[in-house]
Structure 1
Amino acid sequence: MQIPDAVQRREFLERTFHGDPQGRESMEELLDLAGTSSAFFLEGRMRTAELAQEIIDELPEDQLPPPEEPATGIEQEGDSIGRYTLLRKIGEGGGGEIFEAVQDGMVRTVALKIIRSGMDTESVVSRFEAERQTLEIMEHPNIARVLDAGRTVHGRPYFVMELVRGPRITTFCETERLDIPARIELFLKVCQAIQHAHQKGVVHRDIKPANILVENVDGTHVPKVIDFGIAKALQGPLHGRGGMTQMGQFIGTPAYMSPEQIDMGGMDIDTRADLYSLGALLYELLAGRPPFDTEKLLEMGMTEMRRVLIEDNPPLPSEVARTPAEEGKGNTLPGPGEKWANALRGDLDWVVFKAMEKERNRRYQTANSLAMDLRRYLRNEPVSARKPSRGYYMRKFFQRNRAACLLGAAMLISLVVGFGTTTALYFREKEALSEQARLKQQAQARANVSRAAILLSEGNTAGADRLLRQDSLESIEASPEAAEVFRSLGRWNAVFGRWDQAAACFRMMNEANRLGDPIRILEGTDLLMTAPSYLEAGDRKAYLEFRDEMLERHLPTRNALQAEHLLKVCLLIPAEPAVLKRLDAAAQMCRDHKPGKPGIPEWNALSLSIYHFRKGDYQQAIKDADKCISYKDAAGSRAAAARCLIAMSRHKLGDAKEARSNMEKVRAELARVESLIDEAGFPPIGTWFSWAMVRILEREAAAMTGI
Structure 2
Amino acid sequence: MKQVCLMCGRGADDRNLYCQEAACPAEKSPLIFEHGEKLADIEILKPVIVLRASTIYKANWQNKLVYLKIAHEGQKHTTRLKREAILLQTVTEPDLYFLPHLQLPYPGAKEPYGQVVVQNQLLFYYIFDYVEGEPLSEVLARNPQPWIYHTCSIVSDLASSISLLQSLGVCHLALNPEMVLVNFSATRGSETVSPTSTRKPEVATILLLDLGIATLQAEASGQWYPGISHPAYTAPELLNEAYPSVSYRTDVYGLGLILYEMLIGQPAYPARLLDDKALIRVVREGKPVPMNRNKDVSPVAGIAEKAIRPDPNSRQAHASELSQNLKSTFKKIPSEKEVWWRKTDVLLKIAIGLFTAAFFIFLIFVTVSLLS
Residue 365 of structure 1 aligns to a residue whose secondary structure is: coil
Question: Who is 1:197 aligned against?
Answer: 165
Are 1:367 and 2:350 matched, yes or no?
Answer: no
The equivalences for 1:256-655 within 5 A come to: 256-264=233-241, 267-298=244-275, 301=277, 305-318=279-292, 342-344=295-297, 346-378=298-330
Whether the 8 Å contact between 2:41 and 2:61 is mirrored in structure 1 is yes
> Which of 210, 217, 220 in structure 1 is aligned with 2:178?
210
Question: Who is 1:72 aligned against?
Answer: 31
- C-alpha distance in 1 between matches for 2:319 and 2:182: 19
Gap change, CA 1:347 and 1:139, over 3 Å in 2: closer
The equivalences for 1:236-247 within 5 A come to: none
> Which protein has the larger Cα radius of gyration, Structure 1 or Structure 2?
1
When you count strand as a share of all residues, which structure comes out higher?
Answer: 2
CA shift for structure 1 position 343: 0.7
Residue 294 of structure 1 aligns to a residue whose secondary structure is: coil
Q: Percent same amino acid at aligned positions?
A: 21
- C-alpha distance in 2 between matches for 1:177 and 1:163: 27
In structure 2, give the amino acid aligned to 1:110. V
- C-alpha distance in 1 between matches for 2:72 and 2:250: 25
CA deviations over 1:193-220 (Å, ceiling 9, x no partner): 2212211223222211111111236545
Whether the 8 Å contact between 1:124 and 1:157 is mirrored in structure 2 is no
In structure 2, give the amino acid aligned to 1:316. P
Gap change, CA 1:128 and 1:167, over 3 Å in 2: closer
Are 1:92 and 2:58 matched, yes or no?
Answer: no
Whether the 8 Å contact between 2:252 and 2:319 is mirrored in structure 1 is yes
- C-alpha distance in 2 between matches for 1:90 and 1:79: 15
Gap change, CA 1:122 and 1:72, over 3 Å in 2: closer
In structure 1, give the amino acid aligned to 2:327. R
Question: Who is 1:102 aligned against?
Answer: 60
- C-alpha distance in 2 between matches for 1:70 and 1:191: 31
Whether the 8 Å contact between 1:149 and 1:158 is mirrored in structure 2 is yes
CA shift for structure 1 position 90: 3.5
In structure 1, give the amino acid aligned to 2:253. Y
Whether the 8 Å contact between 2:173 and 2:250 is mirrored in structure 1 is yes
Question: Who is 1:150 aligned against?
Answer: 114
Residue 343 of structure 1 aligns to a residue whose secondary structure is: coil
Whether the 8 Å contact between 2:170 and 2:214 is mirrored in structure 1 is no
CA shift for structure 1 position 93: 4.6
- C-alpha distance in 2 between matches for 1:243 and 1:145: 24
Gap change, CA 1:92 and 1:198, over 3 Å in 2: same
Are 1:228 and 2:211 matched, yes or no?
Answer: yes
In structure 1, give the amino acid aligned to 2:181. L
In structure 2, give the amino acid aligned to 1:184. C
Gap change, CA 1:156 and 1:315, over 3 Å in 2: same
- C-alpha distance in 1 between matches for 2:73 and 2:38: 18
- C-alpha distance in 2 between matches for 1:69 and 1:252: 17
Q: TM-score by structure 1 length?
A: 0.35
CA shift for structure 1 position 179: 2.6
CA shift for structure 1 position 71: 4.8
CA shift for structure 1 position 312: 2.2
CA deviations over 1:567-618 (Å, ceiling 9, x no partner): xxxxxxxxxxxxxxxxxxxxxxxxxxxxxxxxxxxxxxxxxxxxxxxxxxxx
- C-alpha distance in 2 between matches for 1:119 and 1:138: 33
Question: Who is 1:603 aligned against?
Answer: none
When you count helix as a share of all residues, which structure comes out higher?
Answer: 1
CA shift for structure 1 position 125: 5.4
CA deviations over 1:306-361 (Å, ceiling 9, x no partner): 4432332214321xxxxxxxxxxxxxxxxxxxxx66214x4333211211121212
Whether the 8 Å contact between 1:121 and 1:155 is mirrored in structure 2 is no
Residue 263 of structure 1 aligns to a residue whose secondary structure is: coil
CA deviations over 1:395-446 (Å, ceiling 9, x no partner): xxxxxxxxxxxxxxxxxxxxxxxxxxxxxxxxxxxxxxxxxxxxxxxxxxxx
Q: Which has the higher contact order (CA 8 A, sep 6+)?
A: 2
CA shift for structure 1 position 160: 2.0
Give RMSD over aligned pairs.
3.6
CA shift for structure 1 position 232: 5.3
Whether the 8 Å contact between 1:87 and 1:100 is mirrored in structure 2 is yes
Unaligned 5+ segments in structure 1 are 1-67, 319-339, 381-707
CA shift for structure 1 position 305: 3.9
> Which of 117, 123, 128 in structure 2 is aligned with 1:161?
128
Gap change, CA 1:267 and 1:132, over 3 Å in 2: farther
> Which of 166, 184, 203 in structure 1 is aligned with 2:152?
184
Whether the 8 Å contact between 1:260 and 1:268 is mirrored in structure 2 is yes
